Amino acid sequence: MAQEMTEEKSKPALRRDIDENLKRVYESALEPEIPDRFKALLAQLKAQQDGAQQNAVKEDSQ
């Protein structure tokens, strides 16, 4: 009888642990890590766009 109570108490705890782990895996899959190389390429592109915009503003003001 004591073993039955232990099994019943452990089932909700086990389900809670499984739920928490599944949520953690799901959330990490939603927010993938962007590789450093890709971040560097994005930064270069942004710098080029910013430079082009500044040149356009200068040309318009002349």
User: How many distinct structural domains can be found in the chain?
Assistant: 2
The per-residue pLDDT for 9 is: 65
Size of the chain, expressed as the number of residues it contains: 62
Is residue 22 located within the same domain as residue 48?
no
H-only helix segments in the chain: 2-30, 36-61
The per-residue pLDDT for 28 is: 86
What is the DSSP-derived secondary structure letter of residue 34?
P
Give me the residue label for tokens 């890590």. Answer: 33
Is residue 27 located within the same domain as residue 39?
no
Give the global pTM. 0.41
Is residue 39 located within the same domain as residue 26?
no
The per-residue pLDDT for 30 is: 86
In the structure encoding, which two tokens stand for residue 55, read together?
Answer: 């040149």
**Residues spanned by the domain of 11:** 1-31
Read off the pLDDT of residues 3-47 as tens digits, 9 standing for 90 and up. Answer: 555 566 688 999 999 999 999 999 988 887 889 999 999 999 999
Per-residue pLDDT band for 62 (boundaries 50, 70, 90) equals: low
Is residue 21 located within the same domain as residue 43?
no
The per-residue pLDDT for 1 is: 45
